[in-house]
Amino acid sequence: MAYIKSAREEEECIFCTKAQRENDEDELVLKRGKHAMVLMNAYPYNNGHLMISPYRHVASLEDLNRDEQLEIIALVVLSMSVIRRALNAEGFNVGANIGSVSGAGIAEHVHMHIVPRWKGDTSFMTVIADTKVMPESLVETYRKLRTALHELESH
Ligand SMILES: [Zn+2]
């Protein structure tokens, strides 16, 4: 019983699943670090919405060790640079929802959100809230971000 429960929980956690799968483009994983990865949100609040999650299945930033904390902050900063370069973002919302009471979608596995912002993008966000974001446009954005990442990392 305990085995079935833990296997199911593992299966339901998209962060653990994506960490284990290998095709980065299919999984929309932009970068795999030592302790954490950067991936695109498949249901973005805005175009280019990224998430950073540790590989370990823990619920809060407080559960992370110092190495994990430092890499996550470094990946947040890298993600901002990538989004600026690829999509000319003018600002960002950066944060994490900790605990289901905060509105976290997947409260058991902590993750940071990086949402790019542009002047006047509220109308865009209203539009996408009512419309399914096409997988093609997600992949197109993914490729733009990946190109910018490679450019930044080759400097
Ligand atoms: Zn997990």
What is the Cα–Cα distance from 108 to 48, expressed in whole angstroms?
Answer: 24
Q: Where are the beta strands (DSSP E) in the chain?
A: 29-32, 36-40, 50-54, 91-95, 112-117
User: What pTM was estimated for this model as a whole?
Assistant: 0.85
Residue pair 97/56 in contact by the 8 Å Cβ criterion: no
The reply to whether 109 belongs to the active site is no
CA of 121 to the centre of ligand 1 (A): 32
CA 88 to chain centre: 18
CA of 124 to the centre of ligand 1 (A): 31
Residues with CB under 5 A from ligand 1 (ion): 13, 15-16, 57, 109
CA of 137 to the centre of ligand 1 (A): 26
Residue type, position 19, single letter: A
The pLDDT tens digits for 78-111 are 999 999 999 999 999 999 999 999 988 889 999 9
Catalytic entry in 49, 109, 111, 113: 111
Looking at per-residue pLDDT, the higher value among 96 and 128 belongs to 96
Residue pair 54/80 in contact by the 8 Å Cβ criterion: no
What is the Cα–Cα distance from 77 to 81, expressed in whole angstroms?
Answer: 6
Q: With pLDDT > 70 as the criterion, what percentage of the chain qualifies? A: 84
Selection from 35-49, 61-75, 113-127, 128-142 with the highest mean pLDDT:
61-75
